[in-house]
Structure 1
Amino acid sequence: MRAAIITAPEKTEVLEVPTPTVGARDVLVRIRACGICGSDSLYISIGGLPPRQGHMPIGHEPAGEVVDVGGEVSGVAVGDRVVVNPMALADDIIGNGGSTGALADYLLIKDAVRGVSLEVVPDHIPYEVAALNEPMAVARHAVNQVAPRQSDQVVVFGAGPIGLGITIALKSLGVRHVIVADILPERLDKALKVGADAVINSHDEDLTARLIELHGPGDSMWPDRAGTDIFLDAAGVPAVIDAAFGAAKRGAKLGVVAVHKEPISIDFMNVMSNELTIVGSMGYPTEIFEVTKDIVENWEKYNVIISHTFAFDELAEALQCVATPGAADKVVITFE
């Protein structure tokens, strides 16, 4: 079978490797779609992760069709459409330094347990949408971390895949008012399509003034604060943190799911006096299949997140697209 392998820094090849053999507790999945993550670009740039630098399989956002099931596996049948938990085996994480990757014709799910390592989805869900399951679990965990109430007013910074996933999750939970802020008009259009109540172009508009206009004034010992209850950073730029703390009322929360590559200064007098809460979010400790139900119920909205699809034969072009700033939002590889 074919598999995408990082063979050196900045070099990924599609190589012929043996098709896996199914054991009694395993499931073999024919990959039908696999998303490309920003972390894939990072792994490629450094030549892979130890101990597999120079020969590391990649791909950790798969959806596919079950083609073989071990005799000791229950709840999964040949022909089922499935999504996968790449983190199920802590010592062999799929596409993140483990022995296998999902950018391949087939993926062996070792010690397969439905609801732990894989989950079945209905046949009407397109494979490329099902492949969003892993990154959307990241978005759902970010939402769970800030524990929104239905009465809350929220602003999401960044309308990339995670920010859009957060927006869908918030509205699925019945959150009253969700604003999405970004600097790209086309991304803001997508935010409205997936259910945002309002959008702010933070390049062209006064963010705090618009928040006050939309969410009302907020209680604070400092002037010009918005009635926004929760700020969620899915952008990862220092200006977002400055903007959030500059608009935050007493008791507001800031959730951070974006990767910040440099340290950021924070005014702790502001944090203390307004009793602000800062909450980090990483991965998806319990959300990998929690989000699956929402994808099934709202797959048309999640479909909006996908900006490009490429065939596996076009992998080099797809990776270049992902690595080019501003060229794409979510890229998914499809397999015939």
Structure 2
Amino acid sequence: MATMKSVQTGAVGKIDVVDIERPVPGPKDVLMRIRACGICGTDVTFLHMGGMPARAHLGGDLVPVAVGHEPAGEIVEVGAEVTDLQVGDRVVVNPQDAPTGIIGCGGKWGGMSEYLLIENAEVDKSVAVFPDTVPFEVAALNEPMAVARHCVNRSEAGPADRVVVFGAGPIGLGAAIWLKLRGVEHVVVADVIPSRLEKALAIGADAVINSAEEDMTARLTELHGQAANALGQPRPGTDIYIDAAGAPAVFNTTVASAKWGAKLVMVAVQKKGSEFDLGGMLRSELTLVASQGYPTEIFEVTPELVEHHERFARLISHRVPFSEVEQAFELTMTPGAAEKVVVTFDE
């Protein structure tokens, strides 16, 4: 029996690297050798929980989770009935297409493993092929960049819009890149970590704001001009606010700053118990738009990720070999220590 190493949740805040049986593809499946896999905030959430409930809606006991839903790799085995993939193809994955559950999010398989079974493999449905001009670790950004792209699509931002993105993590910076590639005239990124703001400028943001040190409303007015809310009170001319931070202060700042008809797109996971000023929303007729996942974007982003891969590569702060995967997760779980960690697998 051939085995492989796979990462799953262990004790609270820890991972276990376990040896499990290497899957064997059926007639409609392919086996993918993982060459890179990103670590996401969702993985960290599972670690903090020490797993996930066996039956979440019933409050069941916690069970280990095979983590990793941002893999990139190459096909090493192809089922007899698969006709559009071949050994050696370099692919990224749609984690949500697996019939045995979402890859890395409670499904049978996790992408932070040496191999991954792609069930019912189909190009542009379960996988997308990318060229060898793109490093595997950059291709592994495909899934989070699909999240960022959906957020931008939900914003419906146009060239003349003035946008501010709160949070210079991978999703926020990815949104900034997509906004600029979309032709949006002016994109501001706000964060509290200077190194992240430097990176925001490097990937093409027009301006940055350190929200821990600067007056957000005053700076946005300086950058986007002055407008007003429905009562005629002065407000910045910012058209769209994107929350990729998930902090209550972002929502409150937006409500306090929003002009008449502004829009807030919420892509970050919000903390429970946050209180919002509904009256302030009313005074600006602020539209709140929620953005979840990537209903259509998972492979729509792949060609542009390929075309602009050097720009997206700047989002990766740390490349850590699989032999040091414990340190990679510790790095991700340490606030402010890393922006985007990608685990790489040996040739």
- By the TM > 0.5 criterion, same fold? yes
1:281 equivalent in structure 2: 291
1:67 equivalent in structure 2: 76
Aligned partners of 1:217 and 1:227 also within 8 Å:
yes
Whole-Å separation in 1 of the counterparts to 2:188 and 2:232? 23
1:45 equivalent in structure 2: 48
Structure 1 residue corresponding to 2:36, chosen from 10, 33, 38? 33
Whole-Å separation in 2 of the counterparts to 1:331 and 1:166? 18
Shift of 1:74: 2.7
Shift of 1:42: 1.6
Residue 199 of structure 1 aligns to a residue whose secondary structure is: strand
Instruction: Show CA shifts across 1:239-277 (max 9, x none).
Output: 111111111111100011111213332332332232210
Closer, same or farther in 2 for the Cα pair 1:45/1:204, shift >3 Å?
A: closer
Shift of 1:89: 2.7
Structure 2 residue corresponding to 1:137, chosen from 140, 146, 149? 146
Residue 14 of structure 1 aligns to a residue whose secondary structure is: strand
TM-score normalized with structure 1 length: 0.96
Structure 2 residue corresponding to 1:303, chosen from 274, 299, 313? 313
Aligned partners of 1:5 and 1:15 also within 8 Å:
yes
Gaps of 5+ in 1: none
Instruction: Show CA shifts across 1:56-86 (max 9, x none).
Output: 3111110001111112223222111110011
Structure 2 residue corresponding to 1:180, chosen from 189, 201, 206? 189
Instruction: Show CA shifts across 1:99-139 (max 9, x none).
Output: 11111111010011111110001111010010011111111
TM-score normalized with structure 2 length: 0.93
Whole-Å separation in 2 of the counterparts to 1:269 and 1:7? 45
Structural mapping, 1:64-213, within 5 Å? 64-89=73-98, 91-213=100-222
Q: For 1:251, give the aligned amino acid.
A: G
Structural mapping, 1:243-322, within 5 Å? 243-322=253-332
Gaps of 5+ in 2: 55-60
Deviates more, 1:17-26 or 1:67-76: 67-76
Q: For 1:287, give the aligned amino acid.
A: E
Whole-Å separation in 2 of the counterparts to 1:276 and 1:34? 38
Whole-Å separation in 1 of the counterparts to 2:34 and 2:73? 4
2:336 equivalent in structure 1: 326
Whole-Å separation in 1 of the counterparts to 2:277 and 2:42? 31
Closer, same or farther in 2 for the Cα pair 1:155/1:296, shift >3 Å?
A: same
1:234 equivalent in structure 2: 244
Residue 175 of structure 1 aligns to a residue whose secondary structure is: coil
Closer, same or farther in 2 for the Cα pair 1:5/1:268, shift >3 Å?
A: closer
Instruction: Show CA shifts across 1:139-175 (max 9, x none).
Output: 1111111111111110001111110000001011111
Whole-Å separation in 1 of the counterparts to 2:344 and 2:140? 10
Identity of aligned residues (%): 53
Shift of 1:300: 1.1
Over 4 Å off, 4+ runs? none
Whole-Å separation in 2 of the counterparts to 1:97 and 1:148? 34
Deviates more, 1:271-280 or 1:321-330: 271-280
Shift of 1:90: 5.5
Aligned partners of 1:49 and 1:96 also within 8 Å:
no
Aligned partners of 2:32 and 2:116 also within 8 Å:
yes
Whole-Å separation in 2 of the counterparts to 1:53 and 1:311? 29
Q: For 1:315, give the aligned amino acid.
A: V
Whole-Å separation in 2 of the counterparts to 1:153 and 1:49? 40
Shift of 1:206: 1.4
Shift of 1:236: 1.1
Shift of 1:222: 4.2
Whole-Å separation in 1 of the counterparts to 2:248 and 2:63? 34
Whole-Å separation in 1 of the counterparts to 2:18 and 2:295? 33
Whole-Å separation in 2 of the counterparts to 1:130 and 1:22? 23
Whole-Å separation in 2 of the counterparts to 1:264 and 1:223? 25
Whole-Å separation in 2 of the counterparts to 1:73 and 1:50? 35
Residue 235 of structure 2 aligns to a residue whose secondary structure is: coil
Aligned partners of 2:7 and 2:66 also within 8 Å:
yes
Whole-Å separation in 1 of the counterparts to 2:242 and 2:74? 35
- 2:21 equivalent to 1:18: yes
Whole-Å separation in 2 of the counterparts to 1:201 and 1:172? 24
- 2:5 equivalent to 1:2: yes
